[in-house]
Structure 1
Amino acid sequence: MRAIFWNVRGFGHVGRRTQLKEYMRKEGIDIVGLQETIKADFRHHELLAIDPLKRFSWNHLAASGHSGGMLLGFDQAVYERELVVIQVYGPADHSRSADFLGEVQAKVLAVSSLFIPLVVGGDFNQLIRSGADKNNDNINWSRVTMFNNTIANMALREVARAGARYTWTNKQLSPVR
């Protein structure tokens, strides 16, 4: 299984759609999860732009104004059997992190009782597992502990990631990654 979960910061940008389509083809992607699409709906031609062979089944969650929105797709030929994908987009307001993780945990535990394969992915919005996941020492260790405890409580395993070491940057002169 090959998956991509990407905070795309706006699906309307043609260059991002081209980049996604090429990456999906090159890497043989089976599951696509996009966060922050900033789209209320997806037109047929927009989905064809990234999936010209119509291999994927698509679902979306509408954005609220100029923020949010998610798109989830999976290759129908690969996933004819049951598989649950929980795509997340964590809150930027870290005072809500505990509630967010509680909601994710409730969903995961409900699915786990059904003995169906499960994938959880997306943008956890700066919830990290260790100090190595960030390029500076400004780390909230209580959130790290909370995140790791939640993962342990759900009995999830982290899948090895390919690509760049850091998955986010604030795009400043001295960036936080």
Structure 2
Amino acid sequence: MKILSWNVRGLGAPDKRRMVKHHLSNTSCDIIMLQETKLSCEEGERFVRYCKRWEGRFQMAEGNSGGLGIVWNPDKVLITEVSGNKNWMTCMAHNRDRKYGVRIWNVYGPTGSDEKTKLWGELEDSILKCTDKKFIVGGDFNAILDLTEKRGGSNRISKEMLEFKNFVRRIEATDCIPVEGWFTWTNRRQGFTNIAERLDRFLVGEGWILEGIPTIASTLPISTSDHYPLQMDIGTATQGGGGYFKFQNMWWREKSLKSQLEQWWMECKHIQGTPSFCFVKKLLFVKNKLKIWNRDVFKNIFEEKDKIGKELEKLNLIVMEKGMTSIEFEEEKRLKNSLNEILAREEIYWRDKARELWIREGDKNTKFFHA
């Protein structure tokens, strides 16, 4: 399931509607969460009809500010239980293909400090009713967690930052760090007056993490609004490819691996969230690093064995024709040592394979096991 969150800064102007419709027509997302539509419910419904293949529900704007919408592709998802107020909408989304559901909150945070405090309380009461913790809270929160999420302007830690961080902790959610893009809003000014902040984000419930379902966010470089849209993929294979992964014991033959693993683990310091979320994310990070290391450093043992065998054959032909010199002697010694190391790694590989087969097949009570 793919979800897009976007503060569009108004859909009243015809040129803005055309631009947003263009992006919605080209997206592969199943659900679109819109903030600051500046539309009434009736105008929102007309906009959905204008975009054709989508369906949607809207919260009415107050004058020329606010307004929320949840738009979805009815061929891919089923949306039920839609409710909310001027600052948030919630719904239940069911994936038609994969048959799992997720509770979603679409948030548009106010600018005032008191209003934000009230909003965090309302959301907390609503979110904590989701007992399986499989929820996604996304949108424009108009708040940042710390100073790393701001460039330019005031650089002091505010009360609003602390309240927002406490809210995230209380609902036991994890901030989904985007794999691409960091700041989601900019005032589009030049020079020292330019300010950029990470106001938009997805907060992920712990239920997704504990079940091992990947959630990946990325910021899209679309400049129709002063906010960049944020996309989340739920259940999509992580970067580096999916499929079965198993740590190979033969890797320990490479002496540098232990220090390399420690280095990769330390590179995960930026991950924030609950302990279980951080642990799972670190494992995924190290797994992807191991895949690359295995491909580029450790390499395929069978291909390396064939390669060294051919080099030895070529060297032996030279020795047979021209005799052995000190150069050939050292080269033969190096190749034999390399081949011996490859064969040792291969022995470990096949030993693990045999153990894996036993675990998978087990004692099937055949004559072989009684012999």
Query: Normalised by the shorter chain, which TM-score bucket?
Result: 0.7 to 0.9
Secondary structure of 2:175 counterpart: coil
Give 1:1-177 correspondences, 5 Å limit.
1-40=1-40, 41-42=42-43, 44-50=45-51, 52-53=52-53, 56-80=54-78, 81=94, 82-110=101-129, 112-113=130-131, 115=132, 117-125=134-142, 127-136=143-152, 137-161=154-178, 164-173=181-190, 174-177=193-196
- Code of the residue aligned with 1:60 in structure 2: it is F
The Cα shift of 1:96 comes to 2.3
> How many percent identity over aligned positions?
25
Q: In structure 2, what is the Cα distance between the partners aligned to 1:61 and 1:46?
A: 13
Looking at both structures, which has the greater relative contact order when contacts are Cα pairs under 8 Å and sequence separation is at least 6?
Answer: 1
CA shift in 2, pair 1:24/1:97, >3 Å: same
The Cα shift of 1:2 comes to 2.2
Structure 1: which 5+ residue stretches go unaligned? none
Quote the RMSD (CA, aligned, Å): 2.3
Secondary structure of 1:83 counterpart: strand
Contact 2:186–2:195, Cα closer than 8 Å, also in 1 = yes
The Cα shift of 1:92 comes to 0.9
Aligned residues: 171
Secondary structure of 1:34 counterpart: strand
Secondary structure of 1:76 counterpart: coil
Corresponding residue of 2:90: none
CA shift in 2, pair 1:129/1:116, >3 Å: closer
Deviation per residue, 1:60-107 (Å, 9 max, x gap): 001111111111112333333343221111111123222111111111
Q: Which has the higher helix share?
A: 2
Relative to the length of structure 1, the TM-score reads 0.82
Contact 1:10–1:36, Cα closer than 8 Å, also in 2 = yes
The Cα shift of 1:162 comes to 5.8
Q: In structure 1, what is the Cα distance between the partners aligned to 2:47 and 2:124?
A: 33
Contact 1:62–1:70, Cα closer than 8 Å, also in 2 = yes
**Which structure would you say has the larger Rg?**
2
Relative to the length of structure 2, the TM-score reads 0.42
CA shift in 2, pair 1:69/1:28, >3 Å: same
CA shift in 2, pair 1:98/1:45, >3 Å: closer
Contact 2:8–2:35, Cα closer than 8 Å, also in 1 = yes
Query: Which moves more between the two structures, 163-172 or 3-12?
Result: 163-172
Corresponding residue of 2:265: none
Deviation per residue, 1:98-135 (Å, 9 max, x gap): 2111111111112x22x37322111111x112212110
Deviation per residue, 1:115-169 (Å, 9 max, x gap): 37322111111x1122121102434343222212211211112234365432112
CA shift in 2, pair 1:116/1:59, >3 Å: farther
Contact 1:18–1:49, Cα closer than 8 Å, also in 2 = no
Query: Which moves more between the two structures, 158-167 or 65-74?
Result: 158-167
CA shift in 2, pair 1:44/1:2, >3 Å: same
Query: Which moves more between the two structures, 70-79 or 157-166?
Result: 157-166
Deviation per residue, 1:23-73 (Å, 9 max, x gap): 3344411221111111113265521333x22xx331100111111111111
